[in-house]
Every structure is written in C-alpha cells, then in structure tokens.
Structure 1
Amino acid sequence: DDESDPTPPMFVVEPEDRRAAEVEVDEPEPVKPERKKPTAEVVTDEPHTQGQLDTGPSPKKGSWKLPPASFLVRSSKQAIDQAEVDQRGRDLEEALRAHGVDVRLVDKTVGPTVTRFELELGSGVKVARVTSLQKDIAYAMAATDVRILAPIPGKSAIGIEVPNKTRQLVSLGDLMASNESKVANHPLDVAMGKDIAGRSVFLNLATTPHLLIAGATGAGKSSGINCIITSILMRATPDQVKLILIDPKQVEMGQYARLPHLLTQPVTNPKKAANALAWAVKEMEKRYDLLFEMGYRDITGFNAAFDRGEIKAGVSSDREFERMHYIVVVVDELNDLMMVAARDVEESITRIAQKARAVGIHLIVATQRPSVNVITGVIKANVPARAAFAVSSQMDSRVILDQIGAEKLVGKGDMLLLPGNSSVAQRIQGCWVDEEEVRKVVAFWRDQSPTVQYVSGVEGEESSSSNAGGHSITDGVGDDASDEALLKRAMELVVRSQMGSTSMLQRKLGVGFARAGRLMDLLEQNGIVGPSIGSKAREVLMTIEEFEAL
C-alpha cells in the first residue's frame, strides 16, 4: 500500500500538464471563440504592444527585425568609496554648524554625477538660512557649485546635491538592458538617463507628448538627441514610427541618412525645414479628418479597430486604409529656424503641439539659445515637458523650466527633466551613445531596406512640371488654377518692382514664408529671378517690357 500511494499523484499530474499544454496551444485557434480571455489580453496589452501589432498584413511588415542589444556597449560599474562619502557628509554637517545652523544628516544617495545629502533641520531653524549659505557650502565641500532642494518634495528634509569627484558613465546600453526598459516597452518610450538613485529614466512621447530641450553649447543636447533617436531605432520598426529630422547644423543628423524610418532625407535648409513643419501640420489635419470620418477619437482606437479588421472603405469608394504610424519630428536647432522664418515656424510648432497628440505626431525641439526670442511664450505654453542641460544664468533656466536650477548643473549630460505632468524637476545624468554604435544600428536597418522611398513633398521641393496633384507645402490647400494665378501675380510684382524679395511676396500676396519661398523658387526655375545671394534680394532677370510682351 505504501508503494502504491505515490503513483496516483504521478499519473494525475502528468495528464494535467498535458491538458494545460494543449489548452495553451489551442487558445489562439478559432475553436472556442466565445472565450473572453483573448479579448481581454488584446485590450490590456494594446498601449504597450503597439510594436507587435504593427507587424501585420503585408509581407514586408512581417520581415522587419529589430537590432540586437549587443550593438550597444554597456559601461563597467565603478565601486563607490563609502568611506569618502561618509566623510563628505560629516564635512557638510560641520560646515553648516560652523555657520550656526543646527542640522543632522539623515540619508545620502550617490548618483552617477552628484551625491545628495539629506539634512534634517534643528528646531527653529529656517529653510532660508540654509539656502543663503549656498556659496559657503560649495567652498567647504571644494565643489564648483551645489544645488539645494529646500525642501525635498514629499520629505521633511533639505537636499544638498554635491558633484562627485569621479563621474560614472551612463551608456545607452545600460538603460536598454535595465529592468525599467522591460516595463517601458512602448515604441515611443525613449531613453533619457539615470536619476540620482541610479534608476533608468524613460520618457513616453505618446503621453508627454512633446519635448523641449535646451542648454548651453557642449552641455550634452546633441548626445541626448542621439540617444533618443537610437532608442527609438532599437525598439520600433519603420511601420511603427516615422521620423523627420531637421538639422540646420548639417553635421548631427547626417549619420541617419537613408534610414527606412525617415519620411524624407535629413533637412538642413531652414527654408525646407519650415516646409517640413508645415507638411506635418497638413498631415495632422488629414489624420483628424480621417478619424472624424471613421468615428474614432485618437490613433490608438483607430489602430486597434484596424487590427480587428473593422476599418473598411465604403462600397462606392476605392480608398485603401492603412494603419497609422507615429511621426516624430526632431528639430536640432530651433534658433536657426526662428532667424529665417520665425512666424511660420512658430505657427507650425504651435499647431502641432496643440493638436497633434491624438493623431500620433510628436515634437522634439532643441536649442542652444534659451532666450524668449527663440523659446517664445506660445511654444512654452504648448510644450509642457522640458529638459534643461547646463546653462549660464538663472534667467536662461527660468526661460526653459520656469524655475532656477539649471545654472547649477555641471555639464556633460547633467540635466533637469521636467515631465509634462509635474512641476518638480528631476535631476538626471543623460545617457551616452557612441557614434560607432549609432552607425551599427543604422547599418542594420539599411541592410533590411537597401532602397529607401521618401514621401514626396515633405521639403516642398517638387518640380513645377510634375503632376498637378502633388503641390508643395502651402499655407492653404489650393487647386492648380489658384496656384498658377498666384504665380502670375508674384511674377508681375517682382518684375514691375525689379526686386526679388521673398518678404515682399509675403506682404503683397498675404502668404506665409513657406509659400512665398516656393513661389520665389518657381520664379528662379522659370528664369525670372537669379539665385539667392544671402539676405539680399534676388536679381530680376526679366524687364518690364519683356513681361508686357508675354
């Protein structure tokens, strides 16, 4: 009897395992359509599995492969000298007591760039007493500068952040291999860096939904942008996310050329950049019209319905619907664009920032000149998420963050991140990605798509002899007859005034910079005016007599 006792459980366990395995295999089959579990899984996972849902109907979509994690190098961990940290904490306490401030060190956190010492104030000690001793604290700690959080949000303590003597490198490979990366699995979860506690920080552009980056030259803006773009390339296929890269500096975005994710080649001409932003506005409006027509509130609902096969063209229509991809517009230097076409650029950025979230179009705007002329109040009001790298003054910090603090940063990727849903800035050491790593990732995508087909008209450079339906970026949607009439009016204005000025066309014709610039380009193609010569008016090649003889 004793020997036979263990046998029944063995025979019971094995069939259960087999049945469980059979159930798991049979679940996706349409044998039991009444079960609710698969439906619940689709609804729950939808916001986090946009990437998987995009690899759908066409053979090409199913052929994309994501780059391996081995392309990104991970940094070696550096040991923390705990004795040195403890000694610096004691030095801080003694320095404050020497100035008559009663404090007690309650905690310390060693981050990649700075160490935060948390101090509890004695009875009757005012917070302002500590903040007034900022320079004395920096002197006592032999630091270039210190940042004081008075108080730390959510704690009855004051935080004093002191730069570390030896900084730790935070690589993009570290973030992409972290536990936080496994949770942040949306295609638009972009890597930002590590916080003071060593946790990886990701920002979801789909919920942010736009990001403003600013800081002085050499503070780490371009490295941060490269990390953001590379993190998108590591987890999103070209069918999920499309990019428009605007690079007036001409050297930062060149390495991403011929990438299948691009809607157009990296834009380096400020005039074409204004056209690209205007194209994004038109695309936004087209998507809103489609959502209204189909009865959906946003891109998530539309794509979910598309995946279920519920989106179909009408009986009398020959339209074919496609799954909406996300579009991320990256502007590396806003200052150059504002110098050339401030009104049009600001208007396009404002319209995208106000409305484009629901249709999956997101902006990342960077500048090294954080002044009110570049980061206008209208732009700030519509781009709530900001990342401030080191700046030179409190005024610059206020322009970016609406608060001081960025002037205390130590540079080389040290940043304050202000997410759109909070007014408390988070100190982060921005991550770093080597140029060779970026080239490996880009080459991986190029190998999968040797020939890249860009979307025509993004830069507004379509030839006037092309088909009539493919007009360029304009301030309004006009037909060919109105465009032809506008071109004739522009030609008459230029010839009779003998001045080839784009700004004159803006004033006289009541059009924006983008359309006036295109009209001037068409006049040049037709031999009416000469090429552009800096900021001077173009030479007019046709006389009034020749014009009247036409």
Structure 2
Amino acid sequence: MLTPPVTNPKKAANALGWAVKEMERRYDLLVEAGFRDIVGYNAAYDRGDLSEEQNTDQSFDRIPYILIVVDELNDLMMVAARDVEDCITRIAQKARAVGIHLIVATQRPSVNVITGVIKANIPARMAFAVSSLTDSRVILDQPGAEKLIGKGDMLLLPGNTSVSQRIQSAWVDEAEVRKVVGHWRRQAPEVVYVSGVDGEKSGGSGADLFGGTTGDSDDDELLRQAMDLVVRTRQGSTSMLQRKLKIGFARAGRIMDLLESRGIVGPSDGSKPREVLMTLEELEQLQQAS
C-alpha cells in the first residue's frame, strides 16, 4: 500500500490530488522515454532497452500499477465536491495509460454524488439492490437495479456495451479477507508508505533544513543532499536527483515537490527542468545557521 487507509474525507480529497500529480509525472516520464503507455514502457524496461543514455540525465525505473479505491464517494463530495469531481474526472480520463486505476463506490446514488461528469468518465459500472427506479438510472442509465433481491444479486454494465448483465457476487467473509491481506503482505514484507499522499507532511521530531519535519533521518539527509545539488548545479531536474542520489523516479519527484513547497525551485513546467530560486549565498547562510 502507498499509504495507510485514509479515513478523513479532507485528506482523502488531498490523496486524489496527489494521484493527479503522480499521473502527470508519469506522463512526463513516458514522454522522455518515448512510449505512449505503461505497458510498452515496462516491457522495454524488462528487456533492458531503457539503458541510461549519454546525452541525458534521466534514469528509468519500472513503473508500478496503482489502484485507488474510494469506499464512500458521498463523504468526499460533502467536503470538496468541485475538487473531487475534477480529480476523479481527470484520473478516469487519462490515468489508465500510466497504470493508475480507480474504483468508486457509494451507498447514496444521487445526482449530487454521482454527477453527470463523473458518470460519463466511468463507463464500467455495477449496481446492487437499490430502493428506487431513479437510483438505478443514476448508476446504470437504465432500470433494473430496483428489482434485485439483494444478497449479492447485481447488475454489471461493462464499458464496451450498453446491455447490463445480471450476475451473482460472491460472499467474502472475514477469514477470506484476512487471507487476501496476508497474500499481499507476503509480496511486500517490508511496509514502506509514501509520504504526502493525504496532503500532510509526516510527523516526527527531526527538523530538516527547509523548516519542516520528515520524521526520518534518512529522508532528512536526502533532502539536504537534494537541496545542495540543485542549488549548486542550478538544475531543478528530477532525473538529476535520480542519477546523483540513486533513488527512484517517484521518490525524486516527491523530493522535488518538497523543494518547491520550500521555495527552493519553481513550479513544474512539463518535462523541462525547474527554475532554481535559491542562490548559492542563501544556501550557505542556511547551512551555517543549521
């Protein structure tokens, strides 16, 4: 898992914003590598075709798939409807090509929750038993779900057809859930969460050079090294951080975002290097003060 389950609706809305930024970052990487989607990119990486070229600072890592699950969309829409709608729309429209997928669920299928924009960009839908014809139309754009008998009885509307299929969902008990979770944990025995997914900086007692905290001495040291590299070389390049610090693309991108939030570099401009805002004199003064 990228992060522990996010239960606060405001933080969950921030997590969707993080996913949009990650999607854009992945598209920038595909542009530099010369591929149109994650399938071709990862296949080339596995073949060893993505070797580091001499005329670029970019280094490439395998891109993992990300699955985003929104358990109750209504909670998010009550907090930040416009932002949530925009994020879900962008993810549903573009993120599949870069390996980011989305599952959205709600127990309140109203037009205020499942808006027309959201529904238009999520073609594959499923409905369990609902209380009214209106609810069925909100989910599926057709009647039928109000006649389901419950207990896993459901209608599936695949994205490639307008004809729904009536199927039976399997019952999953607590023991089976634990088995599935155990299977996932065995694949990644060391749990390493991505900081900043929910919009909060990690807590901790260790203050870094940027006036914030990371709570991890290794991360603090990486931030110091990254700031020193960027300011001294005048290169606000994520790929340069990858190559010099020997870290992955996602981690280098998060460090660059932290540098931006601290005023060290300017905002992202596609695949171009960021503008370095801090001078060498300011860096040396900051290092002496710390």
Same fold, judged at TM 0.5 (above):
yes
Q: Provide the residue aligned with 1:431 in structure 2.
A: 170
The one of 186, 192, 197 aligned to 1:458: 197
| Alignment coverage as a number of residue pairs | 220
Structure with greater proportional helix content = 2
In structure 2, list runs of 5 or more residues that go unmatched: 203-211, 215-219, 228-253, 266-290
Q: Using the alignment, how far apart are the partners of 1:447 and 1:423 within structure 2?
A: 40
Cα deviation digits, residues 512-546 of structure 1 (max 9, x gap) = xxxxxxxxxxxxxxxxxxxxxxxxxxxxxxxxxxx
RMSD of aligned alpha carbons: 2.4
Q: Provide the residue aligned with 1:511 in structure 2.
A: none
Matches within 5 A, 1:78-477: 262-315=1-54, 317=56, 319-447=58-186, 449-463=188-202, 464-466=212-214, 470=254
Change in 2 beyond 3 A, CA 1:374/1:301: same
Cα deviation digits, residues 475-532 of structure 1 (max 9, x gap) = xx9452299xxxxxxxxxxxxxxxxxxxxxxxxxxxxxxxxxxxxxxxxxxxxxxxxx
Structure with greater proportional strand content = 1
Q: Secondary structure at the match of 1:427?
A: strand
Q: Using the alignment, how far apart are the partners of 1:319 and 1:421 within structure 2?
A: 38
Q: Using the alignment, how far apart are the partners of 1:441 and 1:399 within structure 2?
A: 32
Q: Pick the structure with greater CA Rg.
A: 1
What is the identity, as a one-letter code, of the residue corresponding to 1:327? I
Change in 2 beyond 3 A, CA 1:291/1:388: same
Q: Provide the residue aligned with 1:252 in structure 2.
A: none
Q: Provide the residue aligned with 1:481 in structure 2.
A: 263
Matches within 5 A, 1:14-93: none
1:460–1:473: 8 Å Cα contact kept in structure 2? no
* Shift in Å, 1:326: 1.3
* Shift in Å, 1:352: 0.3
Q: Using the alignment, how far apart are the partners of 2:42 and 2:188 within structure 1?
A: 24
Q: Secondary structure at the match of 1:303?
A: helix
Change in 2 beyond 3 A, CA 1:357/1:398: same
* Shift in Å, 1:307: 1.6
Q: Using the alignment, how far apart are the partners of 1:390 and 1:371 within structure 2?
A: 14
Change in 2 beyond 3 A, CA 1:396/1:472: farther
What is the identity, as a one-letter code, of the residue corresponding to 2:263? A
Change in 2 beyond 3 A, CA 1:397/1:297: same
* Shift in Å, 1:311: 0.8
Q: Using the alignment, how far apart are the partners of 1:296 and 1:459 within structure 2?
A: 30
Q: Using the alignment, how far apart are the partners of 1:310 and 1:381 within structure 2?
A: 38
What is the identity, as a one-letter code, of the residue corresponding to 1:403? Q
In structure 1, list runs of 5 or more residues that go unmatched: 1-261, 484-550
TM-score with structure 2 length normalisation? 0.70
* Shift in Å, 1:296: 0.8
* Shift in Å, 1:440: 2.2
Q: Using the alignment, how far apart are the partners of 1:283 and 1:435 within structure 2?
A: 33
Q: Using the alignment, how far apart are the partners of 2:136 and 2:70 within structure 1?
A: 20
Q: Provide the residue aligned with 1:167 in structure 2.
A: none
Q: Using the alignment, how far apart are the partners of 2:140 and 2:95 within structure 1?
A: 23
Matches within 5 A, 1:485-496: none
Q: Using the alignment, how far apart are the partners of 1:285 and 1:378 within structure 2?
A: 20
TM-score with structure 1 length normalisation? 0.38
Cα deviation digits, residues 41-84 of structure 1 (max 9, x gap) = xxxxxxxxxxxxxxxxxxxxxxxxxxxxxxxxxxxxxxxxxxxx
* Shift in Å, 1:313: 2.2
* Shift in Å, 1:303: 1.2
Q: Using the alignment, how far apart are the partners of 1:479 and 1:440 within structure 2?
A: 41
Change in 2 beyond 3 A, CA 1:473/1:432: farther
Q: Which has the higher contact order (CA 8 A, sep 6+)?
A: 2
Change in 2 beyond 3 A, CA 1:303/1:447: closer
1:387–1:415: 8 Å Cα contact kept in structure 2? yes
Q: Using the alignment, how far apart are the partners of 1:403 and 1:423 within structure 2?
A: 9
Change in 2 beyond 3 A, CA 1:322/1:428: same
Q: Secondary structure at the match of 1:367?
A: coil
Change in 2 beyond 3 A, CA 1:375/1:440: same
Change in 2 beyond 3 A, CA 1:294/1:471: closer
Q: Using the alignment, how far apart are the partners of 2:264 and 2:112 within structure 1?
A: 35
Q: Using the alignment, how far apart are the partners of 1:472 and 1:411 within structure 2?
A: 49
Q: Secondary structure at the match of 1:364?
A: strand
Q: Using the alignment, how far apart are the partners of 1:288 and 1:465 within structure 2?
A: 30
Q: Using the alignment, how far apart are the partners of 1:364 and 1:274 within structure 2?
A: 15
What is the identity, as a one-letter code, of the residue corresponding to 2:9? P
* Shift in Å, 1:364: 0.3
1:274–1:344: 8 Å Cα contact kept in structure 2? yes
Q: Using the alignment, how far apart are the partners of 2:8 and 2:257 within structure 1?
A: 15
